[in-house]
Each structure stands twice: as structure tokens, then as C-alpha cells.
């Protein structure tokens, strides 16, 4: 690799000679005594070697640094300049420790394994490369994925597709991360879907920079999908290893709005992003510390905190027993349903209160409309006759007023039932509402 050994050899053979000579000259010969030609040549050779070694080493580091980091450094500088987040720390990290695709693959694997460890699904469901059948390369080419994107897709682990058979874990709708769902890119349908995960393409003949056109560039790989449309999408740029969370869902990037740039408003490059490495490590930490619970729950909510309690009671994290946890979890879900039923008299009162309020609001609104008709204001276009329109409104008000006694009577009954509710049910409900709201 480096020329260190050879220059070392030069050092060993040359210096002792001249050193011996120098020592000799110190003791006996005059100081101006010229160095013999042979020794001078050796010294010159030695200095040449040292010089060459120096130049070689410096250039080696310089060129290897530039070679490895030029593209990435360029991108990072670009990003740091144009984005609010992704500044100093990321820039420093990327230059000293550039992101690699293997890291993303390792961290995605770790995340899938962690969810299995947490009892969300069986570890056997994690499909690891090489995949057979793998990514449909024909389709990927048709969809204009870059070669790098396809390579990364082939390296990633996947959870077996289970859309038809129901959720993969115990969360609803294959919940993976922040209500986003698992993306099994080995499935042709899923692969196609990742080209328009935000349902935003109006005209696929339009380019990446036109509104309504395509917005997922060839280097973008979806690590998760938005499910019903409200979940977070994780989008990986395989060139820069930056990860964009669709809908600005990444907690670390909260509050950073989409940039106002010309072109396609759905372009992920307009959104805040951070290195996939940082993002995935952060998500793993959040699951590990039970801030996020598999299945779409999170701490600080009633059911989230109950799940945290169940995890801890079953040994999380040091001696977790997922079998015992899942038994306790299913029991808790059953108890929670029973609790909901036991609290039915509260729900009845709340519901009737709400309906009465709706009726009163509607009466107030319609009476105002009647007054507006009387004062000569415009009536809707599809109403031709003012008097008929007014009579129609009055009829609606009358019906609402007539509905009120029945609602009030029902409310009386519901309140009566509520008086005899189990005090224990009442107490725990009040405690819960005090902490988490209704
Ligand atoms: C791969 O995709 C192409 C293009 O859509 C399709 O014609 C082909 O049947 C797919 N191959 C497999 C093995 O599903
Ligand atoms: C959630 O858990 C994390 C990590 O344990 C903790 O830092 C955070 O304060 C918790 N949040 C709430 C709202 O309980
Ligand atoms: C885990 O819990 C199950 C169910 O309670 C129990 O049968 C099993 O022995 C436990 N495993 C360990 C290693 O404690
Ligand atoms: C009349 O127009 C209003 C809106 O101005 C609309 O809500 C209503 O459905 C229309 N009614 C009919 C019969 O077309």
C-alpha cells in the first residue's frame, strides 16, 4: 500500500553509515571536512526517498479523500446551503464518515428484527436477500428506476406481503412506522405504487419539475408506504443516502415546512431530510425506549402507556418474554373492550348532549337565514321563490324543535342510568381523562 517499508529500508542502510562518519569526524577530523562522494550520493538518495515518500503520502491521502468524498461533499454542501436542517453535524459526519448503502440495509434489518423481538410478528417473516423471486428488473426499468436503486432494493430485507391475508403484525393495516406500512418491493404492484405514493401524479407525461407530473426520481426508493394515505412514507435517495419522511412526519424535522420552489410541489427534494443513518438509528432508539410502540401506538397516550407498562412488566428490555407479553397484550385488549362497554352510560350521555347541541345550533342558524330572507338578502341560485324558501326553512326549524323533547327525555334516562354506574368504573375513567383527556 504505502511506501513506508522501502523508505524505512533506505533509512536503515543510509543513516548509520553517515552517522558513523559524522561521529568519526566529530572526534578527529576538522569540521569543514567534505563528505566523501559515495556517502554524499547515499545521503542525496536518502533525501530523495524522504521527499518522494512525503509527496506520495500526501497525494495518496489527498486523492483518496477527494475521490471518495468529492461527490458526497458536493451534495452535502449543497444540502447544507439549501436546507434548514442537515447543517453542521450532518456535514461533519458525512465527510468524516460517509454514508454507505450497506448501512441503510443493516439498519432496516435491525429495525425489522427489533419489531420481531418486540413481539410484533414472527422473525421468520423477515425475508432476507438474495430474494427469490427478486425485484422485477423489467418492471423496474419500465418504471425508470436507476440501476443503483434496483441494487439497493435487491439488498434490502422485506416483510412477507400480507395485504390479502390481513395485517402482518397486531397493529391495524400493516402498521410499520408512524402509521406508514411495510413496503415489499418484490411485489410488482407495490413497486409500481412507489412511483406515486402520494397519489399526486395527474399527468404522467409531465416531467419531474412540472406540477402534476412525476415526482419520484429514479434514485428514490420507498422504505415504507403511507398505507391508507395518512401514514409516513420513508423515501431513500440512494445517491446521497438522505432520507425524506413524506408529510414531514420525521420528529426531528418537525416544523420545517416545504420549501417554496418552482416545479413539482410534491418533489421530495423540496422537503427537509436527514441522513438515513441518523434517521433510522433514531427510529430504532424510539422503539427500543418504548417511545414508539409497534402497531402505531406511542407513549404519552392512554393505550400507548398501557402497552409500555405491559412491555416493562414482561421484562423489556433485558429479559423480555414476547410470548408472555402477547398473552398479556391480548388480555389487555379484551379488558379494554369490556371497559368500553362498562363506560357505555357515559357515552350515551355524551352522545345525547352532542345531538341536542347539534339541533340547537341548527335552529339558531336557520333562524338567522330566515331573518336574512326577511331583510331582503340573496337566496341560493337553485331557489326560485323567496316565500317558498322561507317556508322550507321554517319547516326545518319546526322539525328540529319537535325533536328536542324526545332527546331531552332520553338524556334524562341516560343520566339516571349513569347515577347507578359502578363507582370503580367511574373512578378509573376520571383518572384516565384527567391524564389523557376524553
Ligand atoms: C415483470 O414485469 C414485466 C413488466 O411489467 C411483466 O411483463 C412480467 O410478467 C413481470 N415478471 C414477473 C416474473 O412477474
Ligand atoms: C416517551 O418516552 C421517552 C423515552 O423513554 C421519554 O423521553 C419521553 O419523555 C416520553 N414521552 C411521554 C409523553 O411520555
Ligand atoms: C415466557 O412466557 C411463557 C408464557 O407465560 C412461559 O410459558 C415461558 O416459560 C416463558 N419463557 C421464559 C424463558 O421465561
Ligand atoms: C341548491 O344549492 C345548494 C348550494 O347553494 C346545495 O347545497 C343544494 O344541494 C342545492 N339543491 C338542489 C335541490 O339542487
Considering every ligand atom shown, identify the ligand nearest to the alpha carbon of residue 392 and give its number: 4
Of 11-15, 99-103, 370-374, 408-412, which has the strongest mean pLDDT? Answer: 408-412
Number of domains in the chain: 3
Would strands 273-275 and 292-293 be described as parallel, antiparallel, or unpaired?
Answer: unpaired
**Final residue of a structural domain among 270, 289, 308:** 289
Distance 276 CA to ligand 2 centre (A): 23
Q: Please give the pLDDT value at position 306.
A: 95
Regarding whether 102 and 73 lie in a shared domain, the answer is no
Regarding whether 127 and 201 lie in a shared domain, the answer is yes
Q: What is the pLDDT of residues 272-303, one digit of tens each?
A: 788 888 889 999 999 999 999 998 899 999 99
Q: Is residue 221 in a domain?
A: yes
| CA end-to-end span of the chain | 68
Q: Is 435 in the pocket of ligand 2 (CB under 6 A)?
A: no
Please give the Cα distance from 231 to 179 (Å, whole number): 4
Please give the Cα distance from 110 to 351 (Å, whole number): 46
pTM summary value: 0.70
Domain of 82? 57-86
Atom 9 of ligand 4: nearest residue by CA position: 382
Regarding whether 68 and 118 lie in a shared domain, the answer is no
Q: What is the pLDDT of residues 38-55, one digit of tens each?
A: 555 554 444 434 343 333
Q: What is the dihedral of CA 305, 310, 311, 314, to 10 degrees?
A: 160
Q: Is 136 in the pocket of ligand 1 (CB under 6 A)?
A: yes
Q: Is residue 257 in a domain?
A: yes
Q: Is residue 363 in a domain?
A: yes
10 has pLDDT over 70: no
Give the helix/strand (H/E) hosting 137.
helix 137-142
Q: Is 384 in the pocket of ligand 4 (CB under 6 A)?
A: no
2, 23 Cβ separation under 8 angstroms: no
Residue with cell string 448501512:
103
Considering every ligand atom shown, identify the ligand nearest to the alpha carbon of residue 379 and give its number: 4
Q: Is 324 in the pocket of ligand 3 (CB under 6 A)?
A: yes
Place 371 in a pLDDT band, splitting at 50, 70 and 90: very high
Amino acid at each position: 500500500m504505502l511506501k513506508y517499508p522501502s523508505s524505512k529500508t533506505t533509512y536503515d542502510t543510509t543513516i548509520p553509515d553517515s552517522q558513523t562518519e559524522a561521529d568519526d569526524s566529530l572526534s578527529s577530523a576538522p569540521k569543514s571536512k567534505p563528505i566523501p562522494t559515495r556517502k554524499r550520493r547515499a545521503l542525496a538518495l536518502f533525501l530523495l526517498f524522504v521527499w518522494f515518500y512525503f509527496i506520495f503520502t500526501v497525494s495518496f491521502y489527498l486523492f483518496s479523500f477527494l475521490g471518495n468524498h468529492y461527490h458526497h461533499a458536493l451534495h452535502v454542501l449543497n444540502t447544507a446551503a439549501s436546507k434548514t436542517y442537515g447543517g453542521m453535524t450532518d456535514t461533519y459526519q458525512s465527510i468524516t464518515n460517509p454514508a454507505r448503502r450497506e448501512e441503510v440495509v443493516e439498519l432496516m434489518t435491525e429495525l425489522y428484527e427489533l419489531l420481531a423481538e418486540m413481539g410484533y410478528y414472527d422473525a421468520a417473516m423477515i425475508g432476507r436477500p438474495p430474494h427469490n423471486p427478486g425485484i422485477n428488473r423489467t418492471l423496474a426499468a419500465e418504471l425508470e428506476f436507476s440501476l443503483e436503486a434496483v441494487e439497493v432494493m435487491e439488498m434490502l430485507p422485506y416483510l412477507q406481503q400480507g395485504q390479502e391475508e390481513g395485517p402482518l403484525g397486531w397493529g391495524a393495516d400493516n402498521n410499520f412506522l408512524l402509521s406508514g406500512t411495510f413496503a415489499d418491493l418484490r411485489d410488482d404492484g407495490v413497486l409500481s405504487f412507489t412511483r406515486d405514493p402520494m397519489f399526486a401524479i395527474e399527468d404522467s407525461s409531465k416531467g419531474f419539475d412540472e406540477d402534476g407530473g412525476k415526482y419520484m426520481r429514479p434514485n428514490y426508493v420507498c422504505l415504507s408506504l403511507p398505507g391508507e394515505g395518512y401514514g409516513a412514507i420513508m423515501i431513500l435517495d440512494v445517491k446521497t443516502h438522505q432520507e425524506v419522511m413524506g408529510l414531514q412526519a420525521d420528529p426531528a424535522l418537525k416544523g420545517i415546512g416545504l420549501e417554496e420552489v418552482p416545479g413539482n410541489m410534491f418533489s421530495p427534494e423540496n422537503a427537509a431530510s436527514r441522513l438515513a443513518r441518523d434517521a433510522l438509528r433514531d427510529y430504532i432508539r424510539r422503539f427500543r425506549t418504548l417511545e414508539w410502540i409497534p402497531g402505531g401506538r406511542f407513549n404519552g397516550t392512554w393505550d400507548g402507556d398501557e402497552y409500555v407498562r405491559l412491555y416493562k412488566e414482561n421484562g423489556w428490555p433485558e429479559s423480555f418474554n414476547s410470548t408472555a407479553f402477547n398473552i398479556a397484550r391480548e388480555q389487555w385488549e379484551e379488558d379494554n373492550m369490556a371497559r368500553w362497554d362498562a363506560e357505555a352510560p357515559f357515552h350515551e350521555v355524551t352522545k345525547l348532549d352532542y345531538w341536542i347541541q347539534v339541533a340547537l345550533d341548527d335552529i339558531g342558524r336557520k333562524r338567522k337565514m330566515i331573518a336574512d330572507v326577511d331583510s331582503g338578502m340573496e337566496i341560493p341560485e337553485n331557489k326560485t321563490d323567496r316565500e317558498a324558501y322561507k317556508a322550507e326553512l321554517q319547516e326545518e326549524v319546526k322539525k328540529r324543535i319537535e325533536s328536542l323533547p324526545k332527546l331531552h327525555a332520553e338524556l334524562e334516562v341516560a343520566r339516571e342510568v349513569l347515577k347507578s354506574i359502578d363507582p370503580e368504573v367511574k373512578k378509573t375513567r376520571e383518572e384516565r381523562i384527567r391524564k389523557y383527556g376524553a
